[in-house]
Amino acid sequence: MRTAGRVSIVGAGPGDPEFITVKALKRIQEADVILYDRLVNEELLSYAPPEAIRIYCGKAPGEHAVPQEGINKLLIRYGLQGKRVVRLKGGDPFVFGRGGEEVLALAAYGIPHEVIPGITSAIGSAASAGIPLTHRGVAASFACVTGSRCHGDGTPVRWDLLAHSVDTLVIYMGVKQIPFIREQLLLHGKPGATPVAFIERGTTHRQRSFLCTVEDMQEVAAQVKLGNPALIVVGEVAHIPEQVAALQSAASMRIG
């Protein structure tokens, strides 16, 4: 009789390897097999045993190294072999990470599994750029949405509701959809002067941040050659870093 192993669905955080949780790091150190995504900092793989099998499962826009069905099959195969498997995913596995699909696939074969949360990009990258998603007197709510569902099959993003129902809107995977996002926000009454922050490669040494507005977001994205991965934050909280910088400058002048 085959003995099922344990599959750990692990969130690696938004980019900085030091954002990994203690529990997640322990699972990497114990792993027989690691299936890792494109946005995982590869420094984390150095903590795995030398003999651990490492399988790249990266997904770039329109380009998948291993289709999701193939990833599920690998998890099942190694799980049924009794291996200690780590499915290492950028951010949090249950926030636009398809971790739920993997858990369902494992459950269908009775394979023991666990989910280890990670810091999702909306929180990690925004904080790294100095943007609080909620701020007293400015924003009491936020919503996260994926820009990859702007077109095509599936339930469409309800931009008509998102334009007014939350104070801060955080958009994942939206770089290529910025013209459409801008159009939809303006169409549904979002003021053109609403602040927007772009955060590219958040929490890493290559992080870049840009402030613009809904009205000029397409123009600014083109000017700075915004690339993936990037987070888009729409709302008044995008102004907070600018306010912090002004206060720090004023304080320096007083001290000087």
Task: Please give the Cα distance from 24 to 119 (Å, whole number).
Answer: 11
Helix (H, G, I), strand (E, B) or coil at 65: coil
CA 62 to chain centroid, in Å, comes to 17
Yes or no: say if 194 and 138 are a contact pair by the CB < 8 Å rule.
no
Task: Please give the Cα distance from 189 to 66 (Å, whole number).
Answer: 40
Alpha carbons within 13 angstroms on the beta-carbon side of residue 164 total: 8
Yes or no: say if 122 and 172 are a contact pair by the CB < 8 Å rule.
yes
Q: Does the annotation mark 59 as catalytic? A: yes
Structure tokens at 148: 């990859």
Q: Which residue has the tokens 């002048």?
A: 253
Q: Does the annotation mark 37 as catalytic? A: yes
In which region does residue 58 sit, left (phi positive, over 0), alpha (psi from -120 to 50) or beta (all else)? beta
Task: Please give the Cα distance from 2 to 139 (Å, whole number).
Answer: 53
Catalytic residue among 32, 173, 190, 217: 173
Catalytic residue among 37, 92, 167, 217: 37
Q: Does the annotation mark 73 as catalytic? A: no
Closest C-alpha among 146, 122, 145 to residue 134: 122
| Backbone torsions φ then ψ of 56, nearest 5 degrees | -80, 125
Yes or no: say if 31 and 84 are a contact pair by the CB < 8 Å rule.
yes
Active site residues: 37, 59, 173
